[in-house]
Amino acid sequence: MSASPVFSVIVPIYNESGSIPELHRRICEVMDAVDETWEFILVDDGSRDNSRDLIQELAAEDERVRPVIFARNFGQQNAVVAGLDYSRGKAVIVIDADLQDPPELIHELIAKWREGYEVVYAQRTERAGESFMKLITAKLFYRVIDRITDIDLPLDTGFFRLLDRTVVDVMVDMREHHRFFRGLSIWVGFRQIAVPYKRAARFAGETHYTLRNMVRLAATAITGFSFFPLQVATFLGFFSAGISLLAIPTVIILRLAGVQAFLGQATTLIAVLFFGGVQLISLGILGEYIGRLYDEARGRPLYIVREAPDMNHGDTD
């Protein structure tokens, strides 16, 4: 086999048939201007449209295209893991398929890499063509996660970034299931830098991230990088125990003073509901962590491929 390419461009794809030809054209335009060898890893994350056929067609006419076809939809996080697994480049660029991340910015990412940075992430300063709801939830998402987790997560970054081979090698060794890619790529350390950009509107199709997906991803990020929810459970426990400690002498004193308060069923009911609520919430929080532990313990693969190139890293040493 020929020597490893200098760059790998990885794109996770789920139902993006409207964008694929234009994506290929724009990426080729940018990468050909760089004048280094490169490969184009298109990961089909179980698309239900004809994305897979389009990818296969591209692979047939362009030998730089290496398709990784999943057996079903495993989610964007796992699609990117697969891309990293199969990549051979000395630097790897991860970018979305919908052209919201302008491929032209890759030139700047590469320039920073050549200066010696090992993680170069693109940071949006503006985003166009997205709904008010999406903007608000995205903003909130980053701020909440930044407050709660132990990592210093740069605000408003997505998948779009360049990773040096050293970083990729570290990241592919982490096989965690509930994965938060942008968190992990910060957590590993190395020399990191941001490159600002304006996020464009989608070229075609619609976002795959509903509010529900965003909440799920936030839970993954929070449980993946902090014990905050468990600490909240502990706090709630102390808080409710504290209330009852205050309530006992209060009731005794009032009773001795002859006040006829706190006799009704309502008081009992409220107390039972309150403590029951605290206990169930705490159990739920524990459950979230235990469920995640169980997923890790089962050790199932992060994704299953129907078709993929050799995972031969060849002469990358």
Phi, psi of 165 (to 5 degrees): -55, -40
Binding residues for ligand UDP, per CB under 6 A? 12-14, 16, 45, 73, 75-76, 79, 96-98, 100, 207-209
Q: Give whichever of 208 and 313 is closer to ligand UDP, judged by the CB atom.
A: 208
Q: Give whichever of 95 and 285 is closer to ligand UDP, judged by the CB atom.
A: 95
Report yes or no: 182 and 220 within 8 Å, Cβ to Cβ. no
Place of tokens 């532990």: 293
Which partner from the list Mg ion, ligand UDP, none does 118 bind, CB cut-off 5 to 8 Å by kind? none
- The distance of closest approach from Cβ of residue 214 to Mg ion in the complex, given in angstroms and rounded to an integer, is 13
Residue 163: CB partners within 8 Å, gap ≥ 6? 84, 91, 92, 93, 94, 118, 119, 171, 185
Q: Give whichever of 207 and 244 is closer to Mg ion, judged by the CB atom.
A: 207
Which partner from the list ligand UDP, Mg ion, none does 312 bind, CB cut-off 5 to 8 Å by kind? none
Phi, psi of 173 (to 5 degrees): -80, -15
- The distance of closest approach from Cβ of residue 16 to ligand UDP in the complex, given in angstroms and rounded to an integer, is 5
- The distance of closest approach from Cβ of residue 151 to Mg ion in the complex, given in angstroms and rounded to an integer, is 23
Query: Using CA atoms, how far apart are residues 182 and 169, in angstroms rounded to an integer?
Result: 16
Query: Using CA atoms, how far apart are residues 118 and 191, in angstroms rounded to an integer?
Result: 5
Place of tokens 């006829």: 260
- The distance of closest approach from Cβ of residue 249 to ligand UDP in the complex, given in angstroms and rounded to an integer, is 54
| Listed residue (145, 184, 168, 144) closest to 92, CA to CA | 168
Which partner from the list ligand UDP, Mg ion, none does 13 bind, CB cut-off 5 to 8 Å by kind? ligand UDP
- The distance of closest approach from Cβ of residue 79 to ligand UDP in the complex, given in angstroms and rounded to an integer, is 4
Q: Give whichever of 40 and 117 is closer to ligand UDP, judged by the CB atom.
A: 40
